[in-house]
Structure 1
Amino acid sequence: MLTLAAAIVALVLFAGLVVFQLALAAGAPWGRAAYGGQAPGVLPRQFRLSSVVAAVVWSGVALVVARHGGIPVWAPLPDSWLPVAVWVVVGLLAIAVVLNTITRSRIERAIWLPTTIVLLAATLTVALTAVV
């Protein structure tokens, strides 16, 4: 039950991250809350394209964590790869926590530091408790 709850928390937060990235790609003026706050307002084209790629990648990550956590969704990797993939996600989220801690953008830190900490905790819980 703990694994499933953690997977649901992770899935919801990843979904929020994907929606945020898609909004940035569509021209939402939230540049101060992304990419280190380098591009206040609407992001330039290169960052908007990066947000599209990020949305696709985070969607795949969400599906991998959700499936490994017991949610019956399709995942872009075979089930036998999921335990390793989830640990890779844990590592990436640990790096994201560090990056969101040291960003110069206050709004990015205020939004994404707590989000990545909870995502890290939820994904780590899935990695540690999922029945393989």
Structure 2
Amino acid sequence: MTVQIAHLYATAALAIAFFQVALILGAPLGRYTQGGQNEGALPISGRIIAAVSIPVVLFQGLAILSAAGFPGLGWPAWTGWVAFVVQVVTTVLNWITPSKPERAVWGPITLVMSAMALVVLTA
């Protein structure tokens, strides 16, 4: 069961990476990210932040997969805990954002992802 939860976590992380790619390419989703300060497409500075977040979220997905014993990864256990801490910080930020759409969408998603990561890490 832990491996399946890790797969779900990694799939969600990959979906978030694709969301970031959409933001970089100019998708008008600014109100769903980075505090909702932009109604449409993000400015260049926001797109850079989206680009930086891609390797972070991919690292998180891989770290949780490794913690579940996914073959071929074998990362140190601490990487899973770093991923979990980043996930919890992300969750808190998504719940306290001034953007209602961001809270409504990303609050629950990141909360579930935090729970999934914790289940994998404590199994």
Question: If the length of structure 2 is used for normalisation, what is the TM-score?
Answer: 0.92
What are the within-5 Å matches in structure 2 for residues 65-104 of structure 1? 65-72=64-71, 74=73, 79=75, 81=76, 83-104=77-98
**In the TM superposition, what is the alpha-carbon distance from 1:67 to its structure 2 partner?**
2.2
- Write the mapping of 1:55-66 to structure 2, written as runs, cut at 5 A: 55-66=54-65
Distance 1:87 1:16 in 2: 21
Q: Secondary structure of 2:39's partner?
A: coil
Unmatched segments (≥5 aa) in structure 2: none
State the alpha-carbon separation in 2 of the partners of residues 50 and 41 from structure 1.
16
CA–CA separation in structure 2 for the residues paired with 1:89 and 1:3:
16
| Contact 2:31/2:102, CA 8 A, preserved across alignment | yes
SS of 1:61's equivalent?
A: helix
The alpha-carbon deviation at position 120 of structure 1 amounts to: 0.3
* Cα offset, 1:33, TM superposition: 0.2
Please give the secondary structure, in 2, of the residue aligned with 1:47. Answer: helix
For residues 37 and 88 of structure 1, the distance between their equivalents in structure 2, rounded to whole angstroms, comes to 26
Measured on the aligned residues, the alpha-carbon RMSD in Å equals 1.4
Tell me the equivalent position of 2:53: 54
Which of 113, 121, 128 in structure 1 is aligned with 2:122? 128
TM-score (norm 1): 0.86
1:45 counterpart residue number: 44
Structure 1, unaligned runs of 5 or more: none
Code of the aligned partner of 1:59:
L
Which 4+ stretches in 1 moved above 4 angstroms? Answer: none
